[in-house]
Amino acid sequence: MELATKYDPTEVEGKWYQYWLEHGLFRSKPDGREPYTIVIPPPNVTGVLHLGHMLNNTIQDILVRRARMMGKNACWVPGTDHASIATEAKVVAKLAAENIHKSDITRDEFLEHAWDWTHKHGGIILEQLKKLGASCDWDRTCFTMDEKRSGSVIKVFVDLFNKGKIYRGVRMVNWDPEALTALSDEEVIYKEQQGKLYYLRYKIEGDDGYAVVATTRPETIMGDTAMCINPNDPKNRHLHGKKVIVPLVGRVVPVIDDDYVDAEFGTGCLKVTPAHDVNDYMLGEKYNLPSIDIFNDDGTISEAGGIYVGMDRFDVRTQIVKDLAAAGLLEKEEDYTNKVGFSERTDVPVEPKLSMQWFLKMEELAAPALVAVMDDTIKFYPAKFKNTYRHWMENVKDWCISRQLWWGHRIPAYYLPGGGYVIAETKDAALLLAREKSGDDSLTLADLRQDEDCLDTWFSSWLWPVSVFDGINNPDNEDINYYYPTNDLVTGPDIIFFWVARMIMSGFEYRNKPCFYNVYFTGIVRDKLGYKMSKSRGNSPDPVGLMDKYGADGVRMGMLLSSPAGNDLPFDETLCEQGRNFNNKIWNALRLVKGWEVADLMPQSNAAYVAVTWFDARLAAAIRQLGDELGKYRISEALMTVYKLFWDEFSSWYLEMVKPAYQQPIDGVTYKATLAFFEKLMLMLHPFMPFITEEVWQSISERKPGESIMTAPTPCAENEDEQLVVDFEVVKQIVAGVRSVRLERNIPNKETLVLHVVSGEHHHKYDAVITKMCNLESDVRTGKDASAASFMVGTTEYAVPLGSAINVEEEIKKMEQEIIYLEGFLQSVMKKLGNEKFVANAKPEIVANERKKQADAESKINTLRESVAKLKECV
């Protein structure tokens, strides 16, 4: 095969992805092999690829490809999430642009629009993942609202209700006034806001005085039904048993005593608004206070508010402050910083609101899920997230699972005409239960009214590892028994509660097993300045555009170069450029090797034999290191191991050692070994950079149709020789020393030199390599010419005779400066060794290392002094 002059990812990547698809290399079916399973964190069905997806799916692909090459039956299940709030918001906006309001159409009509939107925009992100090289089994693609997944969700709801774990009731919930739905606690993001603390005057009934309340929310006073003071607060004791009048509203409310109140905050008086504050709600329940809901669902003031009806809550805040001031009921206002809850989806401040909702009891479900993580049945990488998980699980609250939306899984609750409700998987089953419950056999489906609400999106995705294998509907099918539990989950720490914890719970509830064994938490992708990347900030590059520019392999490498587990990724586009440069380095190395003329009968040179033996040992050490790093989920470090091995050891050293002279052939033995090394390097690199490695692997030797590097076995660590690898580092230093002499003296590379060993130990068995790499006249000799330029490698002195080329005075000056440096270094070592506490308390190996530093420095100083003395004789 003739190799192209330049590597062009646009030609290569699409070609090989299609090849993999055509030969079914991503497909997985149960067989006798060990399974390896990953389920994709399902992206929003109408979403597009962003850098977070790129990082997450690159890591998943690395793990899957690695498992496949280890002979496992690798199965990566793709899919998408229906994303209730996000998708419904997009559909509502689309309809609004067409002058259609959601309230003007029926639920079924709206769902038709939602499905049209999903079919039109859904699946784009999966196609983009293919461009990245994701080796998913696309035949297994799931959607959280497809038939099997929807059936699973409804079945689980009915089951948990029948177990007494799902209940319906009026509770204080987080209300999103833009999405017009309740949210779970985990969907609320708290942000610091600069606001005001307003001091309001409440007239004491039957008294000329006022009680002053400090509040950040004066717009809620229309819902006040009490004032509360701390019984142990002496400054407010005069208010005990009194009543106060709510300003502007005129409502008379009691003053109650409760040690919940912080006497040090504000004035120590608290306005109690049970319908619009979680803590006030608890006080209302405790003291049987009325609740007045003053807000409409969209955040405007309701008729119950009495004043400012129809105005937006924040407009009311501005107006009511003016009105309070005008009425002499605003004592003062102060700047104040507090944390305000925002909707995770719509980014508007949430409103605490009393609402009838459906809840799932969590305490019992959480118990086995907490133990599994804390005893490392399920391991977190990095482990620091165990504490975050433990804190949440030990303080878990019931999950509000209902949403006031139409797009999603409709709650299977059916209300009877005479009151009450039944829960069933189907309408027909509901009718049977309704007749039984009511005792009225004449009831028809038309008499039943299904609950209007949908289930929280996470209520479907928490079943994902089980439902993708249809383990809820068919709990004993072949797939679930073979692929479950899955092996690894790759996700972000921001959804550890939304998704990870809940999946673990559902796994134990429905399979009595963990749903996965390892969780790898990626970091958050940030720009160079540390800001989180987002469309709104305009600092997030288009991933598809990056792949078009640098190739998928280049972008994959760029994402991984600085993304250790759990740490934020400071993304810089130059990293992708570095990835593209690595592609070019690999391609140029292949063209170099493939361009050599091979003489099969030519004997192998000693230098080539040494080079092959060394790189074989170096490769074995790197293979072992790679396996260790991947086993510990140190993905970035693993890539760097292969990167350095190829760039530094293989390209910069090995190929230079075996490269034949200009227009000369290479012997067959060395050439065959070089191709074998190249192939092993590609096998090591393949999980990280699948496209170029496939192209190179196919080019190294002839392959059969359907063969792929994807299914080639990962290389094993053979011919390990630690001592040889250590010895060769010394060889590199010798070569570097000679090259430094050339550079400093401007001696051309084509001019041969002589190298002397002046003192110390030298292994002559590597001389052939040193001679070739340094362009020496002959093997390394002993002795020293007075005009020689010397350098140290460890405690061994080497010298390159220079004849008239040496400047004796400059050489003496350089050596004397080196002696001064070494004497200072020796002094610091001796000071440490002279410290009795250090010698007595430090580990023996540390003390031994310091003594070695002392011996080495003393040896180098003596050698340099001798060299200076010899040179001075020449002056």
Q: Which of 568, 522, 523, 559 is nearest to 541 (CA)?
A: 559
Does residue 75 surpass a pLDDT of 90? Answer: yes
User: Which residues face 759 on adjacent strands?
Assistant: 797
State the Cα–Cα distance between residues 864 and 202, nearest whole angstrom. 90
Quick one: pLDDT band at residue 354, thresholds 50, 70, 90?
confident
Specify the pLDDT at position 806.
62
Specify the pLDDT at position 715.
94
Does residue 401 surpass a pLDDT of 90? Answer: yes
State the Cα–Cα distance between residues 736 and 773, nearest whole angstrom. 10
Does residue 785 surpass a pLDDT of 80? Answer: no
**What is 39-64 written as a DSSP string?**
E--PPBTT----HHHHHHHHHHHHHH
**In this structure, are residues 763 and 724 in contact, taking their beta carbons and an 8 Å threshold?**
no
State the Cα–Cα distance between residues 340 and 348, nearest whole angstrom. 10
Quick one: pLDDT band at residue 394, thresholds 50, 70, 90?
very high
For the chain, give percent helix, strand, coil, nearest 5: 50, 15, 35
Q: Is 556 helix (H, G, I), strand (E, B) or coil?
A: helix
pLDDT in tens, 599-625: 999 999 999 999 999 999 999 999 999
pLDDT in tens, 553-582: 999 999 888 766 557 788 888 889 999 999
State the Cα–Cα distance between residues 155 and 613, nearest whole angstrom. 63
Residue type, 42: P
- Least confidently predicted of 255-264, 430-439, 842-851, 864-873: 864-873
SS3 per-residue string spanning 246-275? CCCCCCEEEEEECCCCCCCCCCCEEEECCC
SS3 per-residue string spanning 712-759? CCCCCCCCCCHHHHHHHHHHHHHHHHHHHHHHHHCCCCCCCECCEEEE
Report the mean per-residue pLDDT for the chain: 92
State the Cα–Cα distance between residues 649 and 436, nearest whole angstrom. 78
Q: Which of 72, 67, 107 is nearest to 91 (CA)?
A: 107
Q: What is the mean pLDDT of residues 367-391?
A: 95
Q: What is the mean pLDDT of residues 96-105?
A: 92
- Least confidently predicted of 157-171, 409-423, 614-628, 798-812: 798-812
Q: Which of 102, 111, 105, 451 is nearest to 298 (CA)?
A: 102
Q: Sort strands 226-229 and 252-257 into parallel, antiparallel or unpaired.
A: parallel
pLDDT in tens, 307-331: 999 999 999 999 999 999 999 999 9
State the Cα–Cα distance between residues 811 and 804, nearest whole angstrom. 13
Strands of 246-350 (E only): list them: 252-257, 269-272, 330-343
State the Cα–Cα distance between residues 564 and 858, nearest whole angstrom. 41
State the Cα–Cα distance between residues 841 and 142, nearest whole angstrom. 61
Q: What is the mean pLDDT of residues 201-213?
A: 94
pLDDT in tens, 728-760: 999 999 999 999 999 888 888 889 999 999 888
Where are the alpha helices (H) located in 359-463, listed in sequence order? 363-374, 385-394, 427-438, 458-461
Alpha-carbon distances, residue 129 vs 53, 251, 542 (angstroms): 9, 61, 13
Specify the pLDDT at position 536.
61
Q: Cα dihedral sign for 429, 430, 433, 434?
A: negative
Residue 224 is given by DSSP the state: -
Omega prior to 475 cis, within 30 of 0: no
Residue 636 half-sphere exposure toward CB, CA atoms < 13 A = 18
Does residue 805 surpass a pLDDT of 60? Answer: no
Quick one: pLDDT band at residue 355, thresholds 50, 70, 90?
confident
> Look-up: residue for tokens 């009543």?
243
State the Cα–Cα distance between residues 759 and 761, nearest whole angstrom. 7
Specify the pLDDT at position 1.
61
Q: Is 783 helix (H, G, I), strand (E, B) or coil?
A: coil
Q: What is the mean pLDDT of residues 194-216?
A: 94
Omega prior to 35 cis, within 30 of 0: no
Bigger pLDDT: 51 vs 587: 587
Tokens for 299?
A: 């955040």
Share of the chain above pLDDT 90, in %: 73
Alpha-carbon distances, residue 658 vs 317, 606, 751, 777, 834 (angstroms): 79, 10, 20, 18, 49
Q: Is 598 helix (H, G, I), strand (E, B) or coil?
A: strand
In degrees, rounded to 5, the angle at the alpha carbon of residue 870 between the alpha carbons of residues 869 and 873 is 90
Residue type, 722: E
Backbone phi and psi for residue 777, each to the nearest 5 degrees, phi listed first = -65, -35
Specify the pLDDT at position 535.
61
Q: Which of 734, 793, 791 is nearest to 766 (CA)?
A: 734
Q: What is the mean pLDDT of residues 577-601?
A: 95
Residue 704 is given by DSSP the state: -
Residue type, 472: I
- Least confidently predicted of 195-199, 284-288, 407-411, 811-815: 811-815
Specify the pLDDT at position 875.
60
Q: What is the mean pLDDT of residues 831-837?
A: 88
Count the Cβ atoms, other than its own, within 10 Å of residue 33. 12
Quick one: pLDDT band at residue 290, thresholds 50, 70, 90?
very high
